[in-house]
Chain A
Amino acid sequence: MYLLILWLPLCGSIFSGFLGRFLGHKGSSIVSVICVLLSMFLSFLAFYEVGFMGLNYCIVLSPWIEVGILKVSWSFLFDSLTVTMLVVITVISSLVHLYSLEYMQNDPHLPRFMSFLEIFTFFMLVLVTADNLIQMFVGWEGVGLASYLLINFWFTRLAANQSAIKALVVNRIGDFGLSLGILTVFYIFQSVDYFIIFSLSPLFSGYCLNIGGSNISGLTLIGIFLFVGAVGKSAQLGLHTWLPDAMEGPTPVSALIHAATMVTAGVFLLIRFSPLIEFSSVVLNILVLFGSLTAFFAGMSGVFQNDLKRVIAYSTCSQLGYMVFACGISCYNVSMFHLANHAFFKALLFLSAGSVIHALANEQDMRRMGSLIRFLPLTYSLMLIGSLALIGFPFLTGFYSKDFILELAQVTLNKNIYSLEGAFACWLGNLSVFFTAFYSFRLIYLTFVNSVNTTRRNISTSHEPSLLMLTPLVILGFGSIFTGYLGKDLFIGLGTDFWKSSIIILPLNSYFIEAEWLNINSKWLPFGLSIIGISLATIINITKTHIYLYNTFYRNICFLINKKWYWDVLYNRFFIYPILNFGYLVSFKNLDRGFIELAGPYGFSKIIPTWAYIFSKLQTGQLSHYLFFIVLGACIFLLVIFNQIQLLVFYSVLIFFI
């Protein structure tokens, strides 16, 4: 049963991919949807058995690599963390499958699309169920590959190609870090098995590697490398540029990959390695800094984006920042809880956005929408649910996870457990709550409430999607309302034993009790900030006050934020073009085609005819010249024979003459 969870999506992918020609649109849809739905039901069973009944499974299939002390086997680990991810992945994946049946129904390559979605699900499942780093890396790379294929689904579009290549290459930078991390793990622990690494990590907490004369803690080094991997995959600040561009793919792809599953792989990696990074305060501080900066930066960038999907992409980036800094303040279970909740409401937001785009004939610019509340009431209410859940409105899903993260960050402001990073994270996190509320409601207003800005033809043809597309939306809507409340006690309740040994939090780093006894004002702070954000968005969009904002300063700020703080421009100017130029001018033109050719084939073919010409010119035809060479040769021969002349001297004279 446990292995079927994995094999079913693989089978679905193979069937709809290789046999799509024979199965046709309907056949491949049915096959893939049935496969993924079965996988979902089985993962619910697995969640029940592992999560509630407390059984942990580790299924060893077969040995894979056995070289010396390196022993890697195909084995699958099902513990609480894995089954939580399994449920998230398969639920989102099956809903997206159902949704894309109609969303993509007019696409001529539907079987291929289904196959790619299934292979993505399979690789994601391999990633979360692996019990060693190598097998996890298979899933990690496979997910990157599947994201390339899916972003590039409409491969005739130039923008899709560019974004797919960008996604793959930027991810690959992180993958390089992760592979370095795997090598370091193997160097230190002599094993890549999770069990061995995690049970040995307390022992190695004082272990130092001597690199270049300075001692670096081994666990810190591993943690930093793993974090680099997570930065790439989870779009943290620095390597975040691929995520907004990845919106070139179809909307269900954005919902599946860039909201719910693939970007969570980095956070999952950090949570999975909690027994290791918990022993390195340096890594935890790095997580806090980068996570809170990402949350703040992405929240701010989302404020003035005009593309419907791009706003949601930035909010994903921002929420991933929350998850990472929750890991940094050692609240891995809260991070995981937020991951699961976020998957629900972000998939809901993306799929509702897809529904809007579908209704408006592929119009994605929010400035050319408006007033859709009359035409798409159901989509509007679902989008509102998603947005309220996202901004952490009380009693919706986001409240239980996001606000708890902020409360935990606020604990560090207390005088007796004060930490600078924690305060930093607390303030940036609270500010990004404000931005989150602002852009969510800006989206709602621009798309649904404001007056119409689109063409009359679009308005007259706009309609609610059919039942097939609405069912996943409604399910996700219920999920966005209820998962937080229902899962709260299970995942982050005080003293819950759900996680067992899959997450380890040192007692020194755990502030759960303190978070419960926070000052009531600071508990209300995120809610107050989000109310301010909502009311600001309302004032700007409903009333006429926005005319006061048409001045140069405001416009410049808007432009800066709309251009994502020029990250892409700066990257292009200072990294990508110089590297490309270096590759062309130095390594291609000067080295490959220049020096190496000159020293190699080209130079020899040039110099040998010259020498041959000189040698042939020695034969002048004059008999006396020939005789001179004969006598000279005989003399040198005799001198060499009787050791009157060293061979070295002879050769050097010869070379000199040549």
Chain B
Amino acid sequence: MLVYINSTNTSILLFLISVLGIFLNQKNILVMLMSLEMMFLSVSFNLIFASIYLDDITGQIFSLLILTVAAAESSIGLAILVIYYRIRSVITVELMHLMKG
């Protein structure tokens, strides 16, 4: 059992959980943003693990960059959320269907 709980599997599991978190969530956009953050986390975790496993610094540099990008992205995303809330007074994902095909 312990064999399967290694770093790669953990990060992939985390990634899939976050995908499902975005995917199954119908109500709250905050949960989506949090799942997105979790996705970034799983990817940078994977990169760090790989960099250690391969004994290469590049992965850690990438994970640092992803950290930066994730911070910037979440700030922008929250800002958009705030503006959206100010206009619609609601943040339910289901009700965001103005742009149909």
Q: Which A residues are closer than 8 A to B by beta carbons?
A: 615-624, 627-628, 631
Contacts and interface: CB of A to CB of B under 8 A. Distances in A.
B69 to A, nearest CB: 19
Contacts of A615: 101
A620 B23 contact: no
B93 interface: yes
B2 interface: no
B94 A621 contact: no
A621 B99 contact: yes
A621 B100 contact: yes
Most A CB atoms within 10 A — which of B19, B25, B96, B101?
A: B101
Contacts of B98: 621
A627 B39 CA distance: 14
A311 B96 CA distance: 94
B38 interface: no
Most B CB atoms within 10 A — which of A615, A621, A628?
A: A621
A619 B101 contact: yes
Contacts of A627: 22-23
B101 A623 contact: no
A624 B23 contact: yes
A628 B23 contact: yes
Interface in B9-46: 19, 22-26
Interface string B76-101: 00000000000000000110111111
User: What DSSP secondary structure best describes chain A's contact surface?
Assistant: helix
B93 A631 contact: no
B100 A623 contact: no
Given A623-B96, A624-B93, A616 B23 contact: no
B7 to A, nearest CB: 21
A540 B4 CA distance: 124
Nearest to B93: A623
Contacts of A631: 19, 23
B97 A620 contact: yes
Contacts of B96: 621-623
Contacts of A620: 97, 100-101
A624 B25 contact: yes
8 contacts: A619-B101, A621-B96, A621-B98, A621-B99, A622-B97, A623-B96, A624-B93, A627-B23
Given A621-B100, A622-B94, 9 more contacts: A618-B101, A619-B99, A621-B96, A621-B98, A622-B93, A623-B96, A624-B24, A627-B23, A631-B19
Contacts of A619: 99-101
A530 to B, nearest CB: 95
A214 B14 CA distance: 82
A624 to B, nearest CB: 6
B34 to A, nearest CB: 15
Contacts of B25: 624
A149 B76 CA distance: 89
Contacts of A617: 101
A616 B99 CA distance: 11
Interface residues of B, number: 14
Contacts of B94: 622
B27 to A, nearest CB: 10
A618 B101 CA distance: 7
Nearest to A628: B23
Most B CB atoms within 10 A — which of A616, A619, A627?
A: A627
A623 B94 CA distance: 8
Contacts of B19: 631
A624 B26 contact: yes
A631 to B, nearest CB: 6
Nearest to A619: B101
B97 A621 contact: yes
Interface in B47-101: 93-94, 96-101
A655 to B, nearest CB: 21
Contacts of B24: 624
Contacts of A621: 96-101
A631 B24 CA distance: 12
A461 B2 CA distance: 132
Contacts of A628: 23
A626 to B, nearest CB: 10
B19 to A, nearest CB: 6
Nearest to B99: A621
Contacts of B26: 624
A619 B101 CA distance: 5
A13 B25 CA distance: 94
A628 B101 CA distance: 16
Closest 7 pairs between A and B when the two form their complex, measured CB to CB: A619-B101, A621-B97, A621-B100, A616-B101, A621-B99, A623-B93, A622-B97
Nearest to B100: A621
Nearest to A625: B97
B68 to A, nearest CB: 25
A279 B90 CA distance: 104
A622 B23 CA distance: 11
A573 to B, nearest CB: 61
A620 B99 CA distance: 8
A621 B94 CA distance: 9
Nearest to A615: B101
A257 B31 CA distance: 100
A203 to B, nearest CB: 80
A622 B32 CA distance: 14
Contacts of B100: 619-621
Nearest to B96: A623
B45 to A, nearest CB: 20
Contacts of A623: 93, 96
Nearest to A613: B101
A622 B96 CA distance: 7
Contacts of A624: 23-26, 93
B100 to A, nearest CB: 4
B33 to A, nearest CB: 12
A618 B96 CA distance: 16
A627 B24 CA distance: 10
Nearest to A622: B97
A492 B99 CA distance: 101
A129 to B, nearest CB: 78
Nearest to B101: A619
Contacts of A622: 93-94, 96-97
Nearest to B29: A623
A619 B98 CA distance: 11
Nearest to A634: B19
A620 B26 CA distance: 14
A651 B15 CA distance: 29
A631 B19 CA distance: 9
